[in-house]
Amino acid sequence: MSNYTFYLIFYSLSFSAISLSIFSLFHNNWYTIKKFDHTIGLYGGCIENENSTNFMSSKFAQIIRFNEKGINLNFCEIYKYQKPLWMRRSLVIFFVTILFKIIVLILTLIKNIVASSHNRSWGSSIIVVFILSLAIKFFNLCIIKFGRKQIYTFYKYTKKSTCNDGCLENFDDSLPYFTLGNSYYLEVISTILFIFGGIIFLFAMYKKRKQKYVQVSQNTHASRNESLIQNDDLQSIER
């Protein structure tokens, strides 16, 4: 396959990975709330509605908190302040991951269009951003997995919870038109596609560099042969 084919595959895989991550992001935080009356979302989304009011008056009444002014906090405020710190920043972390993946695409595109093929800094920059994005992406998987467990086991605000059957394996995202289970698996697929895209990119770089070395070697060999021929011609003339 040509280098253009490798880069086309890389762009396709990376774009698919970004799309799946964005879908997972919206689904985890907003879609579930909007469509299935879930009061809260994984990344901090919260809607004050009849569902949350009923929940506050029944299951959550024993741990009502007070703010500094002594006024009862509503459900969304309680959820906001009782989340672990790593979950409070989870939405920002998820956006950073998506941003990094977009940067990888942009850097690769710029490298192929305007950058010199002899400039190694482009490839190094892409690899660094790719590794950072991959590391944060694995952290996102932990947020989705254990964050949803915390929501369902601690708050228990909905009958849709499947934690009694094993929350780590059975999330109830009510994902429509899919049989993959939930958005956690979509993020897993996104990670696999992103890793595979990185492997394709590295293989394309290796192939391109190998072709460059072969071409340099051939040019050097041809230059030496030409020099030998010229020397032979000079010697024959002198004779």
Q: Is the pLDDT of residue 192 over 80?
A: yes
Q: How confident is the model at residue 100 (pLDDT cuts 50, 70, 90)?
A: confident
Which residue did the predictor score with more confidence, 203 or 158?
A: 203
Residues in CB range of 189: below 8 A, 6 or more apart: 20, 180
Q: Which of 149, 132, 28, 39 is nearest to 84 (CA)?
A: 149
Q: Are 227 and 22 in contact (CB under 8 A)?
A: no
Residue 31 lies in a domain: yes
In the predicted model, what is the mean pLDDT of residues 197-217? 71
In the predicted model, what is the mean pLDDT of residues 21-43? 60
Q: Is the pLDDT of residue 22 over 50?
A: yes
Q: Which of 70, 67, 36, 239 is nearest to 157 (CA)?
A: 36
Residue 223 lies in a domain: no
Which residue did the predictor score with more confidence, 219 or 192?
A: 192
Residue with tokens 């394709």: 200
Residue 58 lies in a domain: no
Residue 138 lies in a domain: yes
Two tokens at 8?
A: 């086309």
What Rg, from alpha-carbon coordinates, does the chain have? 28
| pTM exceeding 0.85 | no
What tens digit of pLDDT does each residue of 79-89 get?
666 666 656 66
Q: For position 235, what pLDDT does the model report?
A: 55
Residue span of the structural domain in which 106 resides: 3-44+83-206
Pairwise CA distance, residues 40 & 16, whole Å? 28
Q: For position 76, what pLDDT does the model report?
A: 67
Q: How confident is the model at residue 143 (pLDDT cuts 50, 70, 90)?
A: low
Q: For position 202, what pLDDT does the model report?
A: 76
How many other β-carbons are positioned within 10 Å of the β-carbon of residue 232? 10
Pairwise CA distance, residues 86 & 71, whole Å? 27
Strand, coil or helix: what is 233? helix
Residues in CB range of 139: below 8 A, 6 or more apart: 93
Residue 7 lies in a domain: yes
Residue 64 lies in a domain: no
Which residue did the predictor score with more confidence, 42 or 11?
A: 11
Residue 169 lies in a domain: yes
Two tokens at 32?
A: 């579930």
What tens digit of pLDDT does each residue of 47-76 get?
666 655 565 555 444 444 444 444 455 666
Q: How confident is the model at residue 205 (pLDDT cuts 50, 70, 90)?
A: confident
Q: Is the pLDDT of residue 168 over 50?
A: no
> For the chain, how many structural domains are there in total?
1
